[in-house]
Structure formats: C-alpha cells, structure tokens
Amino acid sequence: MNFKILVKNIQHTHDKLQEQAIHSVNIHLTIRNWLIGFYIAEFEQQGADRAKYGQRLIDELALSINIKGLSARNLKLFRQFYFTYPQVATVLTKHLHQLGFNTITQDQSDKQKKQNSTPNILIVQTPSAQSKKLIMQTPSAQSKKFKKSELLVPPDKLINHLSFSHFALLLSIGEPLKRAFYEIECIKGNWSHDELKRQISTLYFERSNMSRKPEKLSAIIQKNSQTLTPSDIIKSPFTFEFLGLKAKDVVYESDLEQALIDHFEGFLLEMGHGFCFEAKQKRITIGSKYYFIDLVFYHRILKCHVLVELKTQEVEHQHIGQLKTYINYFKKNFMASGDNPPVGILLVAENDRALVEYAVADSDKDLFVSKYVLELPSTRQIKAFIQKEINR
C-alpha cells in the first residue's frame, strides 16, 4: 500500500462514518419530534387534567420543559407533524428498541389498566428503572385511516431520506397528493432543504401538472437541483438545538466569507463613527422559520441598529429584499423609544468585483439620505476594504 492509498482510505472511512453518524442523529431527531407531537395529542384527548390547561397547554408545556429548541412554536409544529404523518408509527418499533424502549400494544395497555389501573400514559418507568415502556398503538393513532386512493410514500423512506427541516417545509402543504409529490421528488434527488423550498416556491408541482411531458421536466429539475450534504443537516436549527450546540458552532462559511465577516466587524469599530457591536450570526424567527443576520451593530450617534449581510455570489433582487425584511423585523421588535429606524448594509464580494448596497424601509428613504449617510462609511471605503480582503 502506498502513501496516497493510505490517505485515501482514511479519508473515505472518515467521510462514510461521519455521514452515517449525522444520518443517525437526523433519524433520532425526527423520531423525537414525532413522539413529542404524539404525547401532546394523546394528552389533549385523554389526559386526566387536560381541562386544567385547555388552550394554554402548549405555552405551559414550553415553560415547564425549559429545553432549548422546545419552544411553543416548535411544540405546535411537532403536534402537526404527528397528525400529518401518523404512518411514522409503523416504523418506529425497530428504532425504539435500539434506544432501549419496550413497545407495548394497545391490548397490553388495556390489560395493564384493568389489573392495576395504570393511567394510559405514554412512557412508564418500570420498578427496576432500567427500561422504559412506550405505548405505540393508542386509539387516536389507530383511528387514522387512509383512503386507498391516497398516495403514501413508505414511512421508512421518509424517515431515512428526509431531515426534519424537510418535514417542516412539507407540513405547510395541506394537499396530501401535492405533499407526496414533493416527498418523492425530494427523495429521488436527495434535495437539500433550500432546494425543496425553492422548488415549492417556484410551483414545481403545478408546472408538472401543466406540462405535456412531466418526466422530461423532472429530469431537468433533478439535473440542476442542489443535493443534500451531511453539513446541511447539522446546520439545521432543529439539529444543532437537539445536539446542544450554539449557532456559531454550526455556521459553515467559506474562508473568504468568514474572513470578511470577522474583519468587517473590526473595520467598522475602528472607523470610530459610533458603531457598537451587538451580535454575530444573530438568529431571528419570522413565522416558523429561522434566519441569521451576519452582523448586528447599534450606532450610538444615529441611535439605530445597523444590520450587515454578506454574499459571496452574484447579487440578486431577493438579497436586498431579505435585508429589508430583517430591517422591518428589527423596526417592529427591537426599535426602542427614541431610536431611529434601522439601516442595512449589503456587501457582495465576488472574485472580480465588490458591490455595496444600503437598504432601509422604503418609507424612511428621506431620513436615510439626509442623516444616515453622514455617519455611515462611504461606499468607496467599504469597496476598498472588500477588495483588500479578496486580494489577501
């Protein structure tokens, strides 16, 4: 064996086992979220003290659990996941046995209740406290009957090929046939979360229905689609919260992108124009989705937030639209009494050029032109900084 083969073997072994480890984490996350939805649904229908909590159940639960990632919003999502994908129960037994759970049939549960009046809860600690019993087949789960005309993707395929971030997107699709279409195409192409989102937003399902040759359209879509990588799974907020990681631990940047973010922070602070650093990779939640703002400053002279977004690819209209969305979010949720409206700076660092765009809410253009531009660094200064970083 020569040295090159040694290197290749080690690299191949690392990559394959890393991929399997990440895949395993993803499956466990999906199972956890489905089970949480299952627990909540069963409590709502059969809990002895469910009336005590009523409409406040989810909020009370989120406060009582106090686990990162199990917010009220996510708990509602997990409950929806259970109701939308009840067929997942049929493939959980094997996974649960591997995790140390013993599954109990509904008949066994009923017999247990008759013998010792054990309540119909989902996890029961045994006297030895060494194993856990899980009731999988509850009346409400069994009542989920599917029409024969409905197209169902095998649940084992769903669990093994889709991350929970995929499911979070699919849950927004109310029509079962349309949802199954995207499930199949996503599995076929091993699509990333962003690719699935893009195909849904560009109406791939509707275009396929209108196409005379849908198989040809499918071939074109799959050829040009972005495939899922192991790092895509770890970057999902659901996953890194599940693993107890911080956002900054899982934000994968290119060398140029990371250098620009790190150095631009220092660049603004060194200019002495009143920039006060607040956050890097600031996570915000809009609707049911997570977004990350590259850099957030507060300007003590302008009395406003300054949001910085960096792109290393060609600038597109949605980039400015995205930045304006962040600005409006900050305006609504962070703007205090006496503050001026926030402003955004979009940096585009391509290999052959630099571009700087300023953005504000449209209603604040006059304020921006007359006041902000006096204190913010000029376009010329920022372009020179970007070019220097690119050259370095």
Q: Residue 255 contacts by C-beta under 8 Å, 6 or more apart in sequence?
A: none
Query: Which domains, and CATH codes, for the chain?
Result: 3-141+154-224 (no CATH), 253-391 (3.40.1350.10)
Residue with tokens 């290197």: 7
Q: Provide the Cα torsion 184, 189, 194, 196; round to 10°.
A: -20
Question: Phi and psi at residue 153, in whole multiples of 5°?
Answer: -75, 135
Q: Residue 358 contacts by C-beta under 8 Å, 6 or more apart in sequence?
A: 343, 344, 345, 346, 368, 372, 373, 376, 379
- pLDDT for 340: 85
One digit per residue, pLDDT tens: the chain, 392 residues? 788 898 889 999 988 888 888 888 889 999 999 999 999 998 888 877 777 777 789 988 988 987 888 888 899 999 999 999 998 888 887 777 777 776 655 454 555 545 544 333 333 333 333 334 444 444 344 334 444 445 788 999 999 999 999 999 999 998 999 999 999 999 999 998 888 988 998 889 998 888 888 888 888 888 888 777 777 777 787 887 888 777 666 655 555 666 667 777 777 776 667 888 888 888 888 876 778 888 888 888 888 888 888 876 666 677 778 888 898 899 888 988 888 888 888 877 664 556 666 666 555 555 444 455 556 777 777 777 777 766 76
Query: Residue ranges of the alpha helices (H) in 99-154?
Result: 106-116, 139-142
Closest CA to 377 of 300, 270, 303: 270
Closest CA to 76 of 275, 345, 287, 307: 287
CA separation for the pair 155, 30 (Å, rounded): 12
- pLDDT for 118: 39
Residue with tokens 């962040």: 326
- pLDDT for 131: 36
- pLDDT for 36: 93
- pLDDT for 352: 54
Instruction: Provide the token pair at 237.
Output: 């907020």
Global confidence as pTM: 0.67
Calculate the alpha carbon distances from 360 to 45, 60, 217, 277, 298 in Å: 48, 38, 39, 19, 15
* Cβ-contact 296, 275 below 8 angstroms: no
Question: Phi and psi at residue 278, in whole multiples of 5°?
Answer: -115, -50
Count of residues making up the chain: 392
CA angle 335, 328, 197 (to 5 degrees): 140
The number of helix segments (H) and strand segments (E) in the chain equals 20, 8
* Cβ-contact 98, 141 below 8 angstroms: no
Calculate the alpha carbon distances from 68 to 21, 148, 231, 245, 379 in Å: 22, 40, 21, 10, 40
